[in-house]
Amino acid sequence: MGAIAQLLVNTIVPGALFGLAAASFTLTHRVTKILNLAHGGVVMVGAYGYFWASRSGWGAGGGAAVALTASTATALLVALLVYEPLRVRATLSSIGNLIASFATLLVIEALLLMGFGSRTRSAPALLPTHRYDLGGAFITAHQGAAVIIAVCCTIALAVFLRWTRLGVAMRAVADHEEVAAVVGIDPARVRLWAHAIAGFLAGVTGVLLAGELAFEPRFSVSVAISAFTRSTIGGMGSIPGALAGSFLTDFAMNLWTWVGPTAFREVAALLLVILVLLFRPWGLFGRRPSGS
C-alpha cells in the first residue's frame, strides 16, 4: 500500500512540474509553430534567478519575482532576436527554427555555466521543510506546494486560452494567422505575448525545481527534451494534454523502475513517445488533423 502511494507521489510531483514546462512549451508551439528548445534554458534561467536572488538576500517571494522577471525577459529576448527575424525567411515548422532553438538553448546553457559554474546548486524551498505522510508515502511541503502551484498555473493557462480576449487571439493566430490579421489581430504582438507567457511559466517551473532538487546548467537540455516528449505524448497544442502526458510519462517511468532495471528509466519515456509518434502522432488529446 505504501509502495503504491509512493508511486503516486513520485508520479504527481515531477508530473506536475514538468507538466507546467510542457504546457508552456506547447503554448509556444501552438501559436508560433516553433519547437522552442530554448524553453529548457529559460526554465533554468528561472531556477538560477531564484538561486541568485536567495543568495543576495531576497526572500522567497522577492526571489521568485526576480526569477520570473529574468525568465520572461529571456524568453522575449530570444523571440525578438532569433525567432521573429527567422520568420522573415523561414518556412513554418522548419529545421532552421529547430536548430536555431537548439543553438539558443546551448547559448543560454553556456552563459549559465559561465555565470554560475558547473557544480550543482540548490535553493531554499518555498516552504519550511516538513514531510507529510500520506498513507505510507512521503511528500515534503515544498513538493505539495509545487504540485498545487504547477497544476493551478496549467489550469489558469487553459482558462486563459479559452476565455480571455488575448487567449482567443492566440488561438486565432495559431489556427490561421492570415485570417486573424484580417480581423484586426496583430500576429507579431500576439506571438510575443505567447513567448512572454511561456517564459513566465517556465520561470515558475524553474523556481519550483530550484527548491526541490540540486540543479546545474546542463539540466537545460534535459528539461527541453522532457517538455517536448511530454507535450508530444499528450498532444501538441493541448494544455490539458501536456499535463496528462506528463503524468503518464512519469507513471510509465516509475512503473518501469518497479518492474525492470532502474537504470534505463528514460527508455520508458522514449518508447512511449516513439509509440505515440508511430501510431497516434496527434497525441492523447490532440485533434486528428483534417486536410491541411
Q: Identify the residue among 56, 93, 120, 164 touching other proteins (CB under 8 A).
A: 93
Q: How far apart are CA 220 and CA 109, in angstroms?
A: 6
Report d(CA 231, CA 23) in Å as an integer. Answer: 7
Pair 130, 142: CB distance under 8 Å = no
Q: Mark the segment that binds other proteins (CB under 8 A) among 96-104, 160-168, 174-182, 283-291.
A: 96-104
Query: Taking the complex as a whole, how short is the minimal distance between the CB of residue 257 and other proteins, in angstroms?
Result: 12
Cβ 21 vs Cβ 39: under 8 Å: yes
Question: For the residues of 175-195, what is the DSSP string, one character each?
Answer: H-HHHHHHTT--HHHHHHHHH
Out of 65, 73, 77, 86, name the contact with other proteins by CB under 8 A: 86
Residue among 87, 151, 266, 284 that touches other proteins (CB under 8 A): 266
To which H or E segment does residue 211 belong? helix 187-212
Does position 89 bind other proteins by CB under 8 A?
Answer: yes
How far is 202 from 223, CA to CA, in rounded Å? 10
Which of left, alpha, beta for 283 (phi over 0: left; psi -120 to 50: alpha)?
Answer: left
Cell 522575449, located at residue: 76
- Please state, in angstroms and rounded to a whole number, the distance separating the CA atoms of residues 172 and 29: 14
Binds other proteins by CB under 8 A, chosen from 24, 71, 104, 249: 104
Query: Of 154 and 232, which has the nearer Cβ to other proteins?
Result: 232
Which residue of 27, 170, 210, 273 would you call a contact of other proteins, by CB under 8 A? 273
Q: With binding defined as CB under 8 A, does residue 10 bind other proteins?
A: no
Q: What letter represents residue 172's amino acid? A: A
229 binds other proteins (CB under 8 A): yes
Which of 132, 138, 258, 264 binds other proteins (CB under 8 A)? It is 264
The residues binding other proteins (CB under 8 A) are 35, 82, 85-86, 89-91, 93-100, 102-107, 109-111, 113-114, 117-118, 221-222, 225, 228-229, 232, 261, 263-264, 266-267, 270, 273-274, 277-278, 281
